[in-house]
Amino acid sequence: MDFAGSHILSVDQFERADIERVFDVADSMAPYAHRHRITRVLEGAILGNMFFEPSTRTRVSFGCAFNLLGGEVRETTGFESSAISKGESLYDTARVISGYSDIIAMRHPAAGSVAEFAAASRVPVINGGDGANEHPTQALLDLYTIRKEMRHRGREIDGLRLAMIGDLRYGRTVHSLSKLLACFERVHLSCIAPAELRMPAEIVELLRARGHTVVESDAMENSIAHVDIAYSTRIQEERFASRDEANLFRGRYRLNQAIYTQFCEPNTVIMHPLPRDSRAEANELDPDLNENPNLAIFRQTDNGVLVRMALFAMVLDVVHLVNRYESRVSWYTGKRFTE
């Protein structure tokens, strides 16, 4: 895949070599994200950070990644626009907005909308989430985190043993991550979900067709006994007919330190796409895990900045220039980043 000038719309665009290139570039972004050095490689460039649906963390993560490369950010933070309510087509919106920036990150509630927008855009578009459809940078940051965590243990993604826990039906995150994992070798995936929220059959079949092992279960404890990663998820309450219906499943799978100690191998990494639901009736990852060094959930969001920096640098074709525009950081950086 040639990244320069490309839209990043779906995990389906990526082959293994593409994924690994993104991750290698993400690795090279760490000195800038961790404030050991600054780079101004994109000084003068403008990101159109078009969030037609609110999402503070994803929006700020994209914006911050662009700033860390030296660029400017113009943005929208929700459906403030009245143009669409006045009957404007997505085609027109895209033609207009793409005249205002060098690259666009976009979130929109309607599945397919980002691809439709990209088709009319005059600049590259990165999908920041289009409803139930795709959120490719989340899947990439998840897999990048897995790679980093495994490498700290002298391992690789090939041969990974992973448990996905919770709402595997509606969580777009686990679907996209599964598709990326399918590009690798010998993955053993445990799908832990209530019968009503099982992983879609086509995802299971895709993984098996590529030679991976998939085991399904509705009980958590024994299924997390021999995995490298336990990937927990939130019940996607907003996708159910009612809150009552969602509540049938909230709190079904709860991981806490006692269960971890009793069932997991000592180095099992805990992940979650966030936000985790910390209310008593859900609490899929108990706060008593916060001091567990294998809790990788905040390393995930930190890694999101690296992955987004990598995509911006690759799509705008400046990877080879990043360190030419670098300088020292002169301000206080007592930041405890997870490296």
From the candidates 37, 57, 208, 243, give the one annotated as an active-site residue: 57
Is residue 91 within the footprint of a copy of itself (CB under 8 A)? Answer: yes
Is residue 334 within the footprint of a copy of itself (CB under 8 A)? Answer: yes
How far apart are CB 174 and a copy of itself at their closest, in Å? Answer: 17
Is residue 244 within the footprint of a copy of itself (CB under 8 A)? Answer: no
Could you tell me the CA-to-CA distances from 70 to 66, 67, 128, 327, 330 in Å, in that order? 7, 5, 20, 12, 16
Is residue 77 within the footprint of a copy of itself (CB under 8 A)? Answer: yes
Cα four-point dihedral sign 150, 300, 104, 317: negative
3-class DSSP state of 297: helix
Cα four-point dihedral sign 181, 182, 185, 187: positive
Q: Site size for a copy of itself, by CB under 8 A? A: 81
Pick the closest to residue 254 from 234, 236, 225, 229 (CA basis): 234
How far apart are CB 115 and a copy of itself at their closest, in Å? Answer: 18
- For residue 24, the surrounding DSSP H or E stretch is helix 16-33
Which of 9, 22, 45, 203 is the binder for a copy of itself (CB under 8 A)?
Answer: 45
From the candidates 7, 59, 108, 135, give the one annotated as an active-site residue: 135
Name the one range near a copy of itself by CB under 8 A: 135-143, 153-161, 258-266, 325-333: 325-333
Which of 12, 17, 24, 99 is the binder for a copy of itself (CB under 8 A)?
Answer: 99
For residues 103 and 69, the answer to whether their CB atoms sit within 8 Å is no
* Bond into 275 cis (ω within 30): yes
Which of 1, 5, 152, 156 is the binder for a copy of itself (CB under 8 A)?
Answer: 5
How far apart are CB 159 and a copy of itself at their closest, in Å? Answer: 30
Task: Give the type of residue at 199.
Answer: M
Query: Segment 145-204, which members bind a copy of itself (CB under 8 A)?
Result: none
Which of 30, 64, 206, 259 is the binder for a copy of itself (CB under 8 A)?
Answer: 64
Which of 16, 95, 169, 239 is the binder for a copy of itself (CB under 8 A)?
Answer: 95
From residue 270 to residue 309, the character string flagging contacts with a copy of itself as x (rule: CB under 8 A) and all else as - is: ----xxxxxx--x----x--x------xx--xx--x----
How far apart are CB 26 and a copy of itself at their closest, in Å? Answer: 14
Is residue 4 within the footprint of a copy of itself (CB under 8 A)? Answer: yes
Active site residue 135: yes
Is residue 68 within the footprint of a copy of itself (CB under 8 A)? Answer: yes
Which of 31, 36, 76, 225 is the binder for a copy of itself (CB under 8 A)?
Answer: 76
In the beta sheet, which residues pair with residue 215? 190
Tally of CB atoms within 10 A around 258: 10
Which of 21, 35, 36, 169 is the binder for a copy of itself (CB under 8 A)?
Answer: 35
Is residue 245 within the footprint of a copy of itself (CB under 8 A)? Answer: no
Residue 143 CA, chain-centre distance (Å), reads: 8
Could you tell me the CA-to-CA distances from 158 to 6, 105, 232 in Å, in that order? 28, 31, 21
Which pair of tokens denotes residue 72?
């400017």
Backbone angles phi, psi at 140, to 5 degrees: -65, -40
Could you tell me the CA-to-CA distances from 261 to 193, 257, 288 in Å, in that order? 21, 6, 12
How far apart are CB 187 and a copy of itself at their closest, in Å? Answer: 28
CA distance 149 to 273: 15
Active site residue 86: yes
Active site residue 243: no
CA distance 115 to 92: 14
Indicate which residues carry an active-site annotation.
Answer: 57-58, 86, 107, 135
